[in-house]
Amino acid sequence: MNIFNTFFSHRRMQQMLVLYADGELPQDVAARVRRHLESCAGCSQKLADIIACRGLLKAGTALVIVPTEQLWQRILRKTSMPRQARFKLGEVFFSAGLRRVRWSIAAAVIILIGVFVLRSVDKDQPAFLFDAASRLPSTAIDYSLFLDDVRQDFTGANFYKRYRAQLVELDDAQQAVSFPLAAIEALPESYRLDCVRVFECNGQKCIVFSCINDGKVINIFQHPLGQSWTLGQYAIARTPICNVECLLVNTTDVAAVSWQGKKSEYLAVGDFTPQEFEQIVHVLQ
């Protein structure tokens, strides 16, 4: 459970770093963030990046490119020649010196893009594994598409279009699939079933239950054992929850947990607390 709790600790702290940098947190919360920063290099680096970015925005300055003395001399020589001896455009733009400048600029752009991509990776996540399912063919259910939709506030629109999802009544859902439905009614009373959808991947029909809990939408996917699926390039950690080995994904926007039942597999996606994760896995395992 250490990985499980660490994920959520980082997630809460990351959501408060901007407010902390702006001095808008209450004193007791700011003190808690400060203590976390003392022991967490990843969050400390994120805070430093936020502060540095704010500094650049306030400065409002751009990089100044200073021409070299050699370039000035070349321009002077060319412009001082008689008209008949003036340079041709190709002499400037395809000269060996300027070719080196162009290649230097291109290399710098490539390096900056690489640095940006690397810095965008969440370094404070614990060591993770990319599930073998991420290399599965297109016949696999790509749940990373649903996570992308939720993070962009698309409410799963792209996922449901790809997999031809249809709204059904709970009683009709059992007739559409070959596995026993999850015992959604057994969840605590705080979970209200909002709707049920049947979706299809490669001829295999699966289920997604959308529940409302404390004003938050929680989606619980259920597909049969043996169905290929993937979470794409999302970072995955393995951790036991209620004595069940689970795959855990956690970002600053959304969290997901996957586990295997007796005749089907589950994936719960939403804005969870650790206690809510445990409730769902315990009831539906």
Q: 55 and 165, same structural domain?
A: no
pLDDT at site 151: 87
Say if 125 falls within a structural domain.
Answer: no
Q: 181 and 94, same structural domain?
A: no
Share of the chain above pLDDT 90, in %: 27
Q: What are phi and psi of 244, to 5 degrees?
A: -120, 130
CA distances from residue 171 to 176, 197, 219, 221 in whole angstroms, order as listed: 10, 12, 18, 17
Contact 221, 271 (CB under 8 A): no
Contact 175, 240 (CB under 8 A): no
Which pairs count as long-range contacts for 39-44, CB under 8 Å and 24+ apart, including other chains?
Answer: 40/10, 40/13, 40/124, 41/124, 42/10, 42/122, 42/123, 42/124, 42/125, 43/10, 43/13, 43/14, 43/17, 43/124
Q: Is pLDDT of 87 > 50?
A: no
CATH number of the CATH domain containing 186: 3.40.1000
Say if 48 falls within a structural domain.
Answer: yes
Say if 262 falls within a structural domain.
Answer: yes
Q: 136 and 116, same structural domain?
A: no
Banded pLDDT at 193 (limits 50, 70, 90) = very high
Say if 4 falls within a structural domain.
Answer: no
Say if 208 falls within a structural domain.
Answer: yes
Q: Is 76 in a helix, a strand, or coil?
A: helix
Q: 138 and 277, same structural domain?
A: yes
Q: 99 and 61, same structural domain?
A: no
Contact 20, 33 (CB under 8 A): yes
Q: Which of the two residues, 17 and 240, has the higher pLDDT score?
A: 240
**Which stretches does DSSP call E strand in the chain?**
141-142, 166-168, 191-201, 204-213, 216-224, 229-230, 237-241, 244-250, 255-260, 264-270
Q: Is pLDDT of 130 > 70?
A: no
Q: What residues make up the domain containing 115?
A: 88-120
Q: 163 and 188, same structural domain?
A: yes
Q: 137 and 275, same structural domain?
A: yes
| CA–CA distance, 270 with 150 (Å, rounded to integer) | 8
Q: Is pLDDT of 65 > 70?
A: no
21-30, 62-71, 74-83: segment of lowest average pLDDT: 62-71
Please give the structure tokens belonging to residue 182: 């999850």
Say if 80 falls within a structural domain.
Answer: no
Q: Is 276 in a helix, a strand, or coil?
A: helix
Average pLDDT over the chain reads: 78
| CA–CA distance, 49 with 74 (Å, rounded to integer) | 41
CATH number of the CATH domain containing 32: 1.10.10
For 108-128, write each residue's pLDDT tens digit: 777 777 666 555 544 444 333
Q: Number of structural domains, the chain?
A: 3
Which residues on adjacent β-strands are paired with residue 20?
none
Q: 267 and 162, same structural domain?
A: yes
Average pLDDT over residues 38-61: 75
DSSP secondary structure string, 20-51? HHTT-S-HHHHHHHHHHHHH-HHHHHHHHHHH
Say if 1 falls within a structural domain.
Answer: no
Q: 229 and 112, same structural domain?
A: no
Q: Which of the two residues, 30 and 266, has the higher pLDDT score?
A: 266
Q: 149 and 52, same structural domain?
A: no
Q: 274 and 150, same structural domain?
A: yes
Q: Is pLDDT of 246 > 60?
A: yes
Q: 192 and 61, same structural domain?
A: no
Say if 139 falls within a structural domain.
Answer: yes
